[in-house]
């Protein structure tokens, strides 16, 4: 296991100390590891949700193409709309 030195703001340092004072954590490393695990899991879940949404949009397009239901919408316009969709960020 590698050692990394982290500088915390006074506010974060106080928060870490409060967590230690609860007795739920044995040391600062446990707190940092848990925080990083939660951040990683959250980020992974967000990416999965984006992928699911994109897969559904692609499937709608494939289904429409199969029925010969084509749109006059320009692909550039559609991609712009996707970029503006805040739920994909």
Q: Number of structural domains, the chain?
A: 1
Q: Is residue 68 part of a domain?
A: yes
Say yes or no to pLDDT of 31 above 90: yes
Q: Read off the pLDDT of residues 49-86 as tens digits, 9 standing for 90 and up.
A: 999 988 998 998 899 888 888 777 777 887 888 788 76
Indicate if the alpha-carbon torsion angle 53, 58, 60, 63 is positive or negative.
Answer: negative
Q: Is residue 70 part of a domain?
A: yes
Cβ-Cβ contacts under 8 Å for 16 (sequence gap 6 or more): 8, 28, 31
Average pLDDT over the chain reads 89
Q: Is residue 63 part of a domain?
A: yes
Tell me, yes or no, if the pTM score tops 0.85: no
Q: Is residue 66 part of a domain?
A: yes
Q: Is residue 5 part of a domain?
A: no
**Cα gap 41→49, rounded to integer Å:** 12
Distance of CA 72 to the CA centre of its chain: 33
Residues of the domain holding 64: 10-88
Q: Is residue 82 part of a domain?
A: yes
**Cα gap 15→29, rounded to integer Å:** 14
């Amino acid at each position: 296991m590698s050692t990394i030195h982290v500088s915390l703001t006074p506010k974060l340092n106080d928060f870490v100390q409060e967590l230690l004072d609860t007795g739920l954590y044995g040391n600062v490393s446990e707190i940092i590891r848990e925080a990083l695990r939660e951040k990683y899991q959250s980020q992974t879940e967000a990416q999965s949700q984006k992928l699911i949404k994109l897969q559904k949009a692609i499937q709608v397009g494939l289904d429409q193409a199969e029925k010969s239901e084509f749109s006059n919408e320009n692909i550039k316009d559609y991609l712009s709309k996707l970029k503006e969709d805040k739920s994909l960020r």
